[in-house]
Every structure is written in structure tokens, then in C-alpha cells.
Amino acid sequence: MLKFAVATDRNGLHDLMDQVQATLDASTVREGLLLVSVPHSTAAITVAAHQDPLALEDIDDEIRRLIPTRDDFKHQMDSPQDAAGHIKAALVGHSRSIGISAGELLLGASQKVFLWEFDAPRQRTVYLQVIGS
């Protein structure tokens, strides 16, 4: 398992593809899965189209519209942003499994793996595990 840090200076989507691809390239797995996970309650892992940066902004804007930062959440441990971040991360999910076939990730040409930060700035830990044969 590979573990690395990501320092987030802003909320939103942070590209993980360099680390994801390097991890796959360093493995001998030809068929299997690559697991990407983040052990934090206000961050998530997602796959999204990357070719148009405005699409990433739309995705981020929409989750903020659906779950806005507000001060009427029952839990306010750190801040209203923290409370909203817990909900967003729970809905998006803390991990993704991506298929591997013939030594290649089963992602579309326009897809990348992203860390989705909901409570920046933070120091995040990301785990990558390649499983298979």
C-alpha cells in the first residue's frame, strides 16, 4: 500500500492522477483493482471528467448548492464548513475502486481521479492499493 500527503489550500477537486498512474506503473498487476481512499471525514474521492475545467467547477458548485455551509446543522464541532463537509464527504464517499485490465486503468479518456476537499486548508493522507494478478 502506498501512502502520500496532499496539502489542500482550497476547497474543491484536486487531481490525483499522477500518483495513481505512478502506483499502477510501479506494480506488476495486469488484472485487478486499484483502490484509492482518504481517511478523513471532510474529504472524499471521486472520478470526474477533466477536459473542461468549467465542468469541475460545475460539479463543485452543485454539491455546494445541494449542501450549503450553514449554521443550523446540529453538529458544529469546528465550524459550519466542517459540518457541511461531513455530509458532503459521506455522500460522495471516501474511496473508489478502479478496475485494471491489461495493465491499464478502466477509466474513460476524459476521466481522472480526484480528492474532493470540503474543509480546506488541510493536510490529507491518501492511500493507494493495487490488488490483483
Judging by DSSP bridges, how do beta strands 95-101 and 104-105 pair with one another?
A: antiparallel
pLDDT for residue 122: 95
For the chain, the domains span 2-132
Note whether 128 and 19 are within 8 A (CB): yes
pLDDT in tens, the chain (133 residues): 999 999 999 999 999 999 999 999 999 999 999 999 999 999 999 999 999 989 999 999 999 999 998 877 777 666 767 888 999 999 999 999 999 999 999 999 999 999 999 999 999 999 999 999 8
pLDDT of residue 77: 67
Q: How does strand 95-101 pair with strand 12-15?
A: unpaired
**Rounded distance between C-alpha atoms, residue 19 and residue 14, angstroms:** 12
> Sheet containing 2-8: which strands, arranged edge to edge?
2-8, 122-132, 32-37, 95-101, 104-105
DSSP H helical ranges for the chain: 17-26, 53-66, 80-92
Read off the pTM: 0.93
Q: Which CATH superfamily is domain 2-132 in?
A: YjbQ-like (2.60.120.460)
pLDDT score recorded for residue 81: 74
First-to-final CA distance of the chain: 15
